[in-house]
Amino acid sequence: MIIAETITEVRQQVAAWRKEGLTIGLVPTMGALHEGHISLVRESVKECDRTVASVFVNPTQFAAGEDLDKYPRTFERDVELLEQNGCDMVFYPAVEEMYPAGFGAEIQITTDMVHQLCGASRPTHFKGVCTVVGKLFNIVTPDKGFFGEKDAQQLAILKKMVRDLNFPLEVVGCPTIREADGLAKSSRNSYLSPEERAAAVILYKTMQAAKEKLESGMTDAEEVKKFMTDMIQTEPLAKIDYIQVVDGIDLIPVKEVSPGDLVALAVYFGSTRLIDNFTV
Amino acid sequence: MIIAETITEVRQQVAAWRKEGLTIGLVPTMGALHEGHISLVRESVKECDRTVASVFVNPTQFAAGEDLDKYPRTFERDVELLEQNGCDMVFYPAVEEMYPAGFGAEIQITTDMVHQLCGASRPTHFKGVCTVVGKLFNIVTPDKGFFGEKDAQQLAILKKMVRDLNFPLEVVGCPTIREADGLAKSSRNSYLSPEERAAAVILYKTMQAAKEKLESGMTDAEEVKKFMTDMIQTEPLAKIDYIQVVDGIDLIPVKEVSPGDLVALAVYFGSTRLIDNFTV
């Protein structure tokens, strides 16, 4: 596996692959790889001739006071995992390579979808995500980009970015990978104390219970949210940031729940904020 | 010459050319083509295997009260001119093709360069330009994009956009084309009355005189601006919007003029706003 630290190296390798007529998949990550990321790499390997993963903890998607500094960095282990799973190149740029002195450009979504869900408490987050992913798309020029459904809002926003700005590639969403007890895999799970980790299973349990409610005929979004709120609040270590039901494309809150809608939540356990979701 | 009205048609043709290993040049225009545009087409034909011109009066770069509705539209003549000059495809999309219902994404430069010069009186203009040109870059995926030096601020901003967002292409600036008396060619010249057209030559005369002053040792930017202001004000039909001296890359006003700096101006004749510039 090639480890490229510069944009120039990536472009040269991509140009060589293109010359051979090979297709390219991109898996953007912030490192600290877990089975969720690896499932994206495997899907890319399945769908494309060559797979590029990026490992870059993007500072512009963290606001002041968020966990940029303590975000886990495990590059050597990441390289092993990528290599074992068929990745052909990892792009591992320094911050200065992505944001050189005097940098000043951004890509953003201007509809309300960036203010919903995580956007309410992280108002600049998705501008940082769109900008860095747009840059990665332009650097790697992949045929397909692979993103996890666990970050459902990010996935919907990037699909909109690609559609509205005509990026010449397909955004592929891949299913959330979970621990044995149902907790969604996340690099941030490593922040949890053993007690918090045990408590966090309430998220999955609540989503499963909500799915049953929806299957047995509950359609009022407020009712669904109240049911989930009540259930999560039975766990004393959980502090709800939001529980919301939105449509699956534009992420606008709905009153009546229908197929394709997204039920999404963010809940703190101590200072660790976990997100999860399911599509109705 | 192919006339493509949809993004799909453009992509298919570009893919066919790419398969043959051909390079592609893009000349984005708002139509009402004159010799300035044609010089860009000729440069593209010279430098690239295939040339695509776009003809699209982009509404998002006009503010309320600007000349969107009266902007000249001469598509049949444009097609003739493009064909005569070796253009291979013209992309002529409807507004709905570029901005479908629900559209909501933008690209912008966040440094001070978008607030200088024309940005002072047109605060949303360059966001519209960056967004539409970014879309065109993603639709056509050219090797090179050709832009006129007459729109010096646009050229500098698009170079920054390409650099900072890593668009995989080169932005090529081409010299301003002028009428016999020195007036820069512009689609907006057609708005001028015969008296205004005659008066507008003061811009070129003033720039030539300023060049002489600079060559003979004037270096104080305020002095240069005052000299130019005084000279333009000898023309009663001219109403100055701005005269500014900025560095050629970041467009920040300078105190001492040095090689590479940009001397730029915008002046009204009646309700028609003309721009021009020269590089020291």
Nearest CA in chain B to A112: B104
Using a pLDDT cut of 90, give the percent of chain A over it. Answer: 100
Pairing of strands B89-91, B2-4: parallel
A158 touches A171 (CB < 8 A): yes
Alpha helices in A171-201 (DSSP H): 194-199
A111 closest CB neighbour out of B104, B130, B135: B104
Looking at residue A17, its pLDDT comes to 98
Q: Within a domain: residue A179?
A: no
In this structure, the answer to whether residues B156 and B210 fall within a common structural domain is no
Looking at residue B40, its pLDDT comes to 98
Low-confidence residues of chain B: pLDDT under 70 = none
Nearest by Cα to A24 from A164, A154, A137, A131: A137
Q: Which long-range contacts (CB under 8 A, 24 or more apart) does B188-196 make?
A: B188/B67, B188/B272, B188/B273, B188/B274, B189/B34, B189/B272, B189/B274, B190/B32, B190/B72, B191/B67, B191/B70, B191/B270, B191/B271, B191/B272, B192/B269, B192/B270, B192/B272, B193/B270, B195/B237, B196/B237, B196/B269, B196/B270, B196/B272
Looking at residue A109, its pLDDT comes to 98
Confidence of residue A111 (pLDDT cuts 50, 70, 90): very high
In this structure, the answer to whether residues B98 and B236 fall within a common structural domain is no
Looking at residue B77, its pLDDT comes to 97
Cα–Cα distance measured from residue B91 to residue B8, given in angstroms and rounded to the nearest whole number: 11
Tell me the shortest Cα–Cα distance from B8 to chain A, in angstroms. Answer: 11
| Stated pTM of the model | 0.97
> Dihedrals φ, ψ of A271, to 5°?
-95, 5
* Average pLDDT value for residue range A182-209: 97
Q: Within a domain: residue B205?
A: yes
Which residues does B155 contact at the CB level (< 8 Å), separation at least 6? B147, B148, B149, B171, B173
Q: Mark which of B174, B201, B219 sits at the end of a domain.
A: B174
CATH label of the domain that carries residue B248: 3.30.1300.10
In this structure, the answer to whether residues B12 and B90 fall within a common structural domain is yes
Per DSSP, A194 falls in state H
* Average pLDDT value for residue range A203-223: 97
Looking at residue A3, its pLDDT comes to 98
Which among A135, A164, A247 is the top mutation candidate for probing chain B, defined by the most B β-carbons within 10 Å of its own β-carbon?
Answer: A164
Looking at residue B74, its pLDDT comes to 95
Alpha helices in chain A (DSSP H): 7-19, 35-47, 75-84, 95-98, 118-121, 125-140, 152-165, 194-199, 202-215, 221-232
User: pLDDT averaged over chain B?
Assistant: 97
User: pLDDT averaged over chain A?
Assistant: 97
Residues of A in CB contact (< 8 Å) with B are: 7, 11, 102-111, 113, 130-131, 134-135, 138-139, 141, 160-161, 164-168, 250
Contact assignment for A135 to B165 by CB distance below 8 Å: yes
Cα–Cα distance measured from residue A227 to residue A211, given in angstroms and rounded to the nearest whole number: 11
Looking at residue B225, its pLDDT comes to 98
In this structure, the answer to whether residues B213 and B270 fall within a common structural domain is yes
B60 touches B132 (CB < 8 A): yes
Looking at residue A37, its pLDDT comes to 98
Q: Mark which of A174, A209, A242 sits at the end of a domain.
A: A174
Taking the CB of residue A187, how many other CB atoms lie within 10 A of it? Answer: 20
In this structure, the answer to whether residues A120 and A28 fall within a common structural domain is yes
Tell me the residue range of the domain where A268 lies: 187-275
Per DSSP, A185 falls in state P
- Total number of domains constituting chain B: 2
Residue range B68-110, pLDDT digits in tens:
999 999 999 999 999 999 999 999 999 999 999 999 999 999 9
Looking at residue B124, its pLDDT comes to 95
Looking at residue A16, its pLDDT comes to 98
In this structure, the answer to whether residues A7 and A121 fall within a common structural domain is yes
In this structure, the answer to whether residues A50 and A125 fall within a common structural domain is yes
In this structure, the answer to whether residues B193 and B167 fall within a common structural domain is no
Cα–Cα distance measured from residue B187 to residue A69, given in angstroms and rounded to the nearest whole number: 53
Angle at alpha carbon of residue B206, lines to B203 and B211, rounded to 5°: 125
Residue with tokens 């499963």: A208
Q: Within a domain: residue A192?
A: yes
